[in-house]
Amino acid sequence: MYDGRDLTELEGISPHMWTDEELAFFHHGMQQLSAYLNIQGNSRHNQILKEIERRGGLQKVDQSFS
């Protein structure tokens, strides 16, 4: 279960300062809602994806986000 900072707390922080768990959680959520994201949401999701790629992908992170 994700127990980290919410997106409003992370909004002013560059994704390179996020934890792997935060990247995985918000990537998963945005991926599920991608058809409904506006330009700002798509831009943020792209930043998250670039950071995940920069780190060499996501290592095994607990995927139980419920």
Cα–Cα dist 32/41, whole Å: 12
Domain range summary for the chain, segments of one domain joined by +? 7-54
The pLDDT score that the predictor gives to residue 7 is 94
The answer to whether the Cα torsion of 24, 7, 42, 44 is positive or negative is negative
- Residue 63's pLDDT band (cuts 50, 70, 90): low
- Is residue 65's pLDDT more than 80? no
Tokens describing residue 21:
């768990």
Could you report the per-residue pLDDT of 6-61, keeping only the tens digit for each?
A: 999 999 999 999 999 999 999 999 999 999 999 999 999 999 999 999 999 988 76
